[in-house]
Chain A
């Protein structure tokens, strides 16, 4: 259906309209809404006078708390000087009365002039060891040691300090700076000033230190989310090449790429995406290679997203892709750090999403989706062969059942007579027309495939038996389908598995049915019509401003690495369609040992 909608858009020369952006309405509207809501609540409360009196104070308190929370977040209220006031607000924010995860630890900093402080963190998200030995211990036990140092003592006069704190409206900000600069040995410490920031830091696993008398707080890096280690890639496995895959931890993922590209110009920019729960995303690119327009477009799209839940790269893909009816994936999701590194080196941008082992690469072209990192890791003739096999597999997956229908029911003169008679003989007892037969088998196969992914692993063997035996043999024996069709469906399925990008594989699965229907209605002519529309659609598509079928349509310069795989020493240029800052990847003669026999003979 989406295919057709986009087709229709294309035919009407219309860009699909973006949905109205309800979320960018001004804050005034929101305030007004809230006012209306509270008014309604009041009216409601007025009506509910029959309720027992003892419930009323609790309800009133809850309403008040909720309002405070809203104020704290929406107005981005600043922290208070008063530790007790801060504690009260934060207890309210984290609902400590009913929520057991947030911990608010009040203690005293053991300087000469003890000051009360408070550490806020979420149990389980943060690292206990760091908290105990790098925050609490230095502050409570070791902070006094520095005071004995005569040099330090001259610098700080505690009494004046305290007096200043009482006088100054900023509170004892010098003391706060001292805690930050001299007393806390944490490796990453940030100053935060609002309750909202405190909450965000605590929720991401950091510990926040609030000091009495200061309206600033310290967010100390203590993240310790449970996470999986680096494992082998499960979807994009290769024979020759690195066997590492991304994990759910964005920091680890970034480190995996940085491990490959050790360049100071490799930039990681963190971007918070989303509205209700902020998802931590990062984009990664080579500052001296990438086209700045692509980076700013990626950032613009990511920052503009206002949504409830984009915790997954697949969800994010939905938000940033160009054509949402599109049947072709416009970003590449990969779990291989080496692939991300190679694409970044070409001038593309990688988008990391925290909590997801798939990293998206944009802009992506059709030819990029057909490639596998293994193509580059084997010698080039074999890399080209692998790619040819994959193109052939793609063709089979897309067209084979449709061609079978078209040829057997419209153009029988195509078939060698003996094969035709064999097929006819095999079909004699099958009661269904070919199209029903094909749909039956294709749907069964889709069922098997879907079941194979969803079913619990422990019952996996059952599926194999059912699939192979029931559908393969028994269906033929029961004269439901002809044996040649089993071959067709099997070859189609195998062809589909050669498509390396999962998103592209899914779209091929769906488009196959469109071609089947076209072939059933109009034979080969229908398939040709389908191909015409399909190609028109693909050529019309863009991924972050880059034509989807580049470098073929439009024809742009490129290294020999799109349809087939050329030798790596001939990959001299970055893709022209990305318009990178540095077009040349390696000099014309990249093999220094190569002795040129005649002028211009270096490349052959």
Chain B
């Protein structure tokens, strides 16, 4: 370079290029040099404090398999994922141990599930869970799940049936909260914020279990579909994992279990309900059912008033609407004059379920509905709210549930006729 400005330009360019060198490609990593963890399981340890199980994806089996090899997880088979368990003191300590086993650098940023064994959950999980919020690699949308047995076993044996990729399997399983009432919506960030918030004093996690081999019910009496929870689903075939019900946590400790319909009631009252199918026995023909598909009409309306002694009176209004999808009895509920009969039938049923769930939660002394957030509005200052001590007061709160259900459509049949002959 001959002239002054160009010389200076060259200098600037050189400095900029050198600045690029300074970054040293920090955190550069080829995707095929990273071991993608898809799920983490935590159990009470056998040789150390905890047992940590990692499910590591095997990408070549997913991308290159092309239907040749079905998923064969478990005992080191050439499947689409590889479960590895470590005895360690902490979860992230186990992640370091995993690096000494895997040839690729371990990365947690694609974790779908974090599963706690029931034994550990009952002992308390806050000391393992809370520190994760700080870790950049940990995805806050990870679903929190409690396994009925040991998490390690659940992850090892829980092979996807329809999917090649375990992460898609986990993802879609947990996504069931959108279209069924039985699965709660429990991403890590929600679980964490509920667990630490004085407005809740507890949280819930989805409940998962492996299929039970022996019969779980002794007889064939009629049971509503919602009474089941994971591990007690009478079935044969299908994938190994079942996801239904919820584990209730209080102060980081699992204190109880909700069954399917209790989860549904909880979701309707807390506003995470999206869709479900309700079947109600028809009082005019008790062997038959009226089946409707219901959706929320608007978010639950929670009204709170405080008595003089501080007891909260909570009135929860749940507005729903839905379509009739089946009338077994042949009663003309589709007749405009009779529609209100069907509506009140459903309303009664849902109200009973919700009241039972409220009672249960008060017995467990955990506000799983988030009513605390609404009670909080009655207090002008944070210290006043802290002094009120909602988790202690919740069992004594008077909670009334109102259900308003409207049938919008009656399905494809205009008028019912009994099936003759």
Contacts and interface: CB of A to CB of B under 8 A. Distances in A.
Interface of A: 1, 4-5, 7-9, 11-12, 14, 16-17, 408-410, 412-413, 417-418, 420-428, 430, 433-434, 517-518, 520-523, 526
B36 A420 contact: yes
B137 to A, nearest CB: 8
Residues of B contacting A: mostly: helix
A418 B139 contact: no
Contacts of A417: 36, 38, 110, 112, 165, 167-168, 171
A498 B30 CA distance: 31
B398 interface: no
B332 to A, nearest CB: 48
Given A417-B110, A421-B36, A17 B9 contact: no
A463 to B, nearest CB: 32
Interface string B19-31: 0110101011111
10 contacts: A7-B13, A417-B38, A417-B165, A420-B31, A424-B63, A426-B63, A427-B31, A434-B30, A518-B20, A520-B25
Given A422-B59, A523-B28, A526-B23, 10 more contacts: A8-B12, A14-B8, A17-B3, A418-B168, A420-B36, A421-B63, A426-B63, A427-B31, A521-B21, A526-B20
B31 A424 contact: yes
A14 B167 contact: no
Contacts of B57: 421
A404 to B, nearest CB: 11
- Nearest 10 CB-CB pairs, A to B? A425-B63, A8-B9, A425-B59, A424-B59, A8-B12, A413-B109, A4-B13, A417-B167, A424-B31, A427-B32
A424 B36 contact: yes
A437 to B, nearest CB: 10
A7 B11 CA distance: 12
B13 A5 contact: yes
Contacts of B13: 1, 4-5, 7-8
B167 A418 contact: yes
Residues of A contacting B: mostly: helix
Nearest to B171: A417
A385 B20 CA distance: 39
A412 B29 contact: yes
B337 interface: no
Contact of A5 (B9, B27, B168, B171): B9
Contacts of B11: 8
Contacts of B362: none
Contacts of A413: 109-110, 139
B109 A409 contact: no
B77 interface: no
Given A417-B171, A428-B64, A521 B23 contact: yes
A198 B301 CA distance: 98
Contacts of B59: 421-422, 424-425, 428
Contacts of B168: 417-418
Interface in B94-130: 107, 109-110, 112
Contacts of B386: none
Interface of B: 3, 5-6, 8-13, 16, 20-21, 23, 25, 27-32, 34, 36, 38, 57, 59-64, 107, 109-110, 112, 139, 165, 167-168, 171
Contacts of B107: 412
Nearest to B168: A418
Contacts of A418: 62, 165, 167-168
Nearest to B65: A425
B16 A4 contact: yes
B358 to A, nearest CB: 38
Contacts of A408: 30-31
A428 B27 contact: no
A12 B8 contact: yes
A14 B6 CA distance: 10
Nearest to A8: B9
Contact of A521 (B25, B61, B110): B25
Nearest to B81: A421
B189 to A, nearest CB: 15
B28 A424 contact: no
Nearest to A20: B3
Given A5-B13, A8-B13, A523-B27, A422 B34 contact: no
Contact of A424 (B8, B10, B32): B32
A427 B110 CA distance: 18
Most A Cβ at <10 Å: residue of B5, B36, B57, B167 = B5
Most A Cβ at <10 Å: residue of B28, B36, B112 = B28
Nearest to A408: B31
A528 to B, nearest CB: 13
Contacts of B29: 409-410, 412
Contacts of A410: 27-29
A12 B38 contact: no
A201 B63 CA distance: 74
A16 B31 CA distance: 44
Contacts of B20: 517-518, 521-522, 526
A426 B64 CA distance: 7
Contacts of B63: 421-426, 428
A9 B9 contact: yes
Contacts of A427: 30-32
B62 A421 contact: yes
Most A Cβ at <10 Å: residue of B20, B63, B139 = B63
A413 B167 CA distance: 14
Contacts of B27: 410, 523
A412 B110 contact: yes
A246 B34 CA distance: 57
Contact of A12 (B12, B28, B167, B171): B12
B12 A428 contact: no
Contacts of A433: 30
Nearest to A412: B31
A2 B23 CA distance: 24
Contacts of B112: 417
A433 B8 CA distance: 35
A423 B30 CA distance: 11
Contacts of A523: 27-28
Contacts of B64: 425-426, 428
B168 to A, nearest CB: 5
Most A Cβ at <10 Å: residue of B9, B31, B64 = B31
B245 to A, nearest CB: 26
A433 B25 CA distance: 13
Contacts of B139: 413
A523 B16 CA distance: 16
A331 B201 CA distance: 68
A54 B416 CA distance: 128
Most B Cβ at <10 Å: residue of A409, A417, A428 = A417
A522 B28 CA distance: 8
Nearest to A4: B13
A407 B60 CA distance: 20
Most B Cβ at <10 Å: residue of A9, A16, A421, A521 = A421
A16 B30 CA distance: 42
Contacts of A422: 59, 62-63
A412 B139 CA distance: 12
Nearest to B16: A4
Contacts of B21: 521
Nearest to A533: B16
B43 to A, nearest CB: 24
B31 A423 contact: yes
Given A412-B110, A425-B63, A9 B165 contact: no
Nearest to A425: B63
B158 to A, nearest CB: 17
A4 B14 CA distance: 10
Nearest to B31: A424
Nearest to B80: A421
Nearest to B22: A521
A518 B25 CA distance: 10
A518 B20 CA distance: 8
A1 B1 CA distance: 13
A584 B152 CA distance: 76
